[in-house]
Amino acid sequence: MAINNVLTHAQENRFASAFMSPPPRLTQTFLRGSTATQASGSWANQGTTSIPRELLSREDADHDKVAIVMQHIDDTKKLVDRLDETERRIKETQEVIEGNRRLIERSREILSNVASAAALRGLG
């Protein structure tokens, strides 16, 4: 006897929709069996497979909040990087300024020595 491997059209549609639809959100999966939450909410009589619009909009708002927080983290990292770069440039500038001070001091010593030598020659 041959086994009939042919699915009905309805079975094919259910099978296809199971693999074609996006996976449920964590809240949807968690709340399907949460009778305590359903009993305490205004949507208690809607059944365990439907998720209330208020909950989904709250979940979307939570996702938006997470996206905003992640953007703030990225912005903060960029600001920290800019601050590090600015501090590095300040340090380099301070080193250049200190080098210029040493050059000025050395130039003053040389000018003083030249002036002293000129004064000695003028006296002699």
pLDDT in tens, 53-72: 666 677 777 888 888 999 99
pLDDT for 55 equals 63
Buried b (16+ CB within 10 A) or exposed e, 48-71: eeebeeebeeeeeeeeeeeeeeee
Residue 6, SS3 per DSSP: coil
pLDDT for 7 equals 54
Whether residue 98 has pLDDT greater than 50: yes
pLDDT for 108 equals 97
Whether residue 34 has pLDDT greater than 70: no
Residue 66 has which token pair?
């997470």
What's the CA gap between 115 and 112, in Å, rounded? 5
- Which one has a higher pLDDT value, 71 or 122? 71
- Which one has a higher pLDDT value, 83 or 38? 83
What's the CA gap between 83 and 79, in Å, rounded? 6
Mean pLDDT of 101-106: 98
What's the CA gap between 50 and 59, in Å, rounded? 15
The mean pLDDT value of the chain amounts to 75
Residue 49, C-beta contacts closer than 8 angstroms, at least 6 positions apart: 32
- Which one has a higher pLDDT value, 51 or 2? 51
By the 10 Å C-beta count (0-12 exposed, 13-18 middle, 19+ buried), 41 is classed as middle
